Amino acid sequence: MAILSRAITLTESTKETHKQLAGEILQGVIHATGNSFRLGITGVPGVGKSTFIECLGKKIIKQGHKLAVLAIDPSSSKSLGSILGDKTRMEELSTHKNVYIRPSPSSGTLGGIAKATYETMLLCEAAGFDFIIIETVGVGQSEVMVSGITDFFLLLMLAGAGDELQGIKRGIMEMADSVIITKADGPNLQKAQLAKAQIENAVHLLQPQESGFITSVEVCSSLENKGITEVYLLIEKYRKFAIATNYFLFKRKKQQRELLYDFLEESLKKQFFSNPKVIQELKKIEEQSISKGFIPFNLANALIRKIIDP
Amino acid sequence: MAILSRAITLTESTKETHKQLAGEILQGVIHATGNSFRLGITGVPGVGKSTFIECLGKKIIKQGHKLAVLAIDPSSSKSLGSILGDKTRMEELSTHKNVYIRPSPSSGTLGGIAKATYETMLLCEAAGFDFIIIETVGVGQSEVMVSGITDFFLLLMLAGAGDELQGIKRGIMEMADSVIITKADGPNLQKAQLAKAQIENAVHLLQPQESGFITSVEVCSSLENKGITEVYLLIEKYRKFAIATNYFLFKRKKQQRELLYDFLEESLKKQFFSNPKVIQELKKIEEQSISKGFIPFNLANALIRKIIDP
């Protein structure tokens, strides 16, 4: 795992030589990737993601899987403290020989985080991990990205937090392959059952999933270790269903095509604005754009024509 | 005005020859532009934008201005029916010799609409119109764009529609230089006064405007023609204030620089993806991206390097 960690660190580096080396390593192991099940998990802070992953993760390794957990939180630059926090909250998992826990870099553009997370996932697969969990916070755009690189997407929700939707945007609910109501124990259990019915109602109003799999709503308690097996079985059921219908491969290919186009746009902008000729010309053009007698669109087009052959 | 309409139509055309001709016309008249006051107006459907503009517009031309009204509605492709509808609702304005009313094209990307609207505005200025109103619907992203090309931005709101915020996002409120509560007449008057107090409270919690001008909340009735003069005087007060503090020119320059960068990004993407070499290579690369053994990021970078010199 020391080698894996070194390789991931190269992937995350901003140094050009490191990036090149990382690219070469990836190209060298690419044929050993793609053989895992990729699970995305999102939910607002406080919903109990870490303890849920601790419970589900133990179930997963008990089935003989090797598990990698990648955590993304683009809303805050993750400090060393919170990384340790993650590992502490996943106490049993983090010390298990078949588990690898790693926070993804949270700085930089979303496109950059997507690339680093995707490459980290590939490296984990090449290192033999056949179950990948990618965890993120359901408050920004990162869950769209995670949903775009995983096979199955779980949305964790708390019951009885006043508004059942807890600021979760409708769009996130639409991405979910399953909604899990956490902390359904003690006095919370009844609220959780009520929330389940309400969310089931809401989910039925949404468009059916492209996969044809019915979005289910489950309740669980990490504290009492209840409902976790059901979630694991649900994921297993989906995996078999999606492989049988060929949707599994169809979705992976679609995701790879989308990654290609997203990255083309991101990289095009980056390479254009860091091009020495562009940097030099932009100084002049910016001056012109704020003086009378120039039309910004004409200035822009002229510059682009100098860089890209028509 | 027939010439103006022809020139605007060229600007909106998707034909390359028309675009070039439009660019040449614009370059020819650019020194005669920039001499108007540019007023942005937004508000949800039903807030009474057309009747408000009819009343305010009459006030504006009474002061000796020549007025152009550009209407944008990117949320729906504007049919001929609704254009006629606009002109009917602005009955007196539309027949006045010093008034020009024109809907902006609503199809295409927001960047495309921004470009067409900006160029239309320049053409109107070159044709001697010294007061431009750009009207849009406060439900999407178009109000950000309109606020980005106007000197003063009015948000129209209805009182007593249950929720005083009527689905208006906080971000739109922050863009507004003034909030106008419409239809403050008859039984609505009291509700409007109450809403004014509530919105004033909300506005005071926001960051102060960059201009230093205090965001005011006004009530008005287009039906009884009340409060319209006050809105006109407010705009006049802002104009004098912003010119005296030099903010007027500072903001225009900032807007032009932002337009340049927005358009650079938009146009870069467009020219890249319509480049014959890219189109040809993309077919191959897309195939590769969905087969095993290729990393989408490496494929993307290799393609961009072929088009942009490092």
Q: Which residue of A has its CA nearest to B265?
A: A269
Q: Which spans in chain A are helix H?
A: 2-12, 16-29, 49-62, 80-89, 91-95, 110-126, 142-147, 170-175, 188-204, 228-244, 247-273, 276-289, 296-307
The CATH superfamily label for domain B31-247 reads: P-loop containing nucleotide triphosphate hydrolases (3.40.50.300)
Per the listing, tokens 């995350």 go with A12
Residue A29: what pLDDT? 92
Whether A31 sits inside 8 A of B119 (CB atoms) is: no
Residue A77: what pLDDT? 46
Per the listing, tokens 């649900």 go with A234
Q: Please determine, for residue B162, whether its predicted confidence score (pLDDT) is greater than 90.
A: no
**In this predicted model, what pLDDT tens digit does every residue of A179-209 receive, in sequence order?**
999 999 988 899 899 889 888 888 887 778 8
From residue B22, how far is each of A298, B122, B297 by CA, in Å? Answer: 11, 12, 39
Residue A81: what pLDDT? 41
- Chain B interface test: which of A31, A289, A307 (most B C-beta within 10 Å): A289
Structure pTM? 0.75
* Residue range A70-75: mean pLDDT, rounded: 74
The rounded mean pLDDT for chain B is 86
Q: How many CB pairs under 8 A join A and B?
A: 126
Residue B249: what pLDDT? 94
CA atoms within 13 A on the CB side of B155: 29
How is residue B190 annotated by DSSP?
A: H
* Residue range B66-80: mean pLDDT, rounded: 70
Q: Please determine, for residue B58, whether its predicted confidence score (pLDDT) is greater than 90.
A: yes
Residue A302: what pLDDT? 86
Task: Provide the shortest C-alpha distance from residue A206 to chain B (in Å).
Answer: 21
For residues A247 and A133, what is the distance between their CA atoms, to the nearest angstrom?
20
What percent of chain B has pLDDT above 90? 46
From residue B208, how far is each of B165, B174, B212, B214, B256 by CA, in Å? Answer: 19, 9, 7, 7, 23
**In this predicted model, what pLDDT tens digit does every residue of B245-268 receive, in sequence order?**
999 999 999 999 999 998 899 889
* Residue range B13-39: mean pLDDT, rounded: 89
Whether B27 sits inside 8 A of A298 (CB atoms) is: yes
**In this predicted model, what pLDDT tens digit does every residue of A216-246 receive, in sequence order?**
999 999 989 999 999 999 999 999 999 999 9
A residues 67-106 lying closer than 8 A (beta carbon) to B: none
For chain B, the structural domain boundaries read 31-247, 263-307
Residue B152: what pLDDT? 97
Q: Which CATH class name applies to A32-247?
A: alpha beta
Residue B164: what pLDDT? 45
**In this predicted model, what pLDDT tens digit does every residue of B193-251 receive, in sequence order?**
988 988 888 888 777 889 999 999 999 999 898 999 999 999 999 999 999 999 999 99
Flag whether residue A300 sits within 8 Å of chain B, measured between CB atoms. yes
B residues 29-68 lying closer than 8 A (beta carbon) to A: 30-31, 34
- Chain B interface test: which of A145, A263, A298 (most B C-beta within 10 Å): A263
The rounded mean pLDDT for chain A is 86
What percent of chain A has pLDDT above 90? 46
Phi-psi region of A128 (alpha: psi -120 to 50; beta: other; left: phi over 0): left
What ipTM goes with this model? 0.74
* Residue range B67-80: mean pLDDT, rounded: 68
Task: Provide the shortest C-alpha distance from residue A19 to chain B (in Å).
Answer: 11
For residues B153 and A303, what is the distance between their CA atoms, to the nearest angstrom?
32
* Residue range A103-116: mean pLDDT, rounded: 77
Task: Provide the shortest C-alpha distance from residue B220 to chain A (in Å).
Answer: 35
| Single-letter amino acid, residue A174 | E
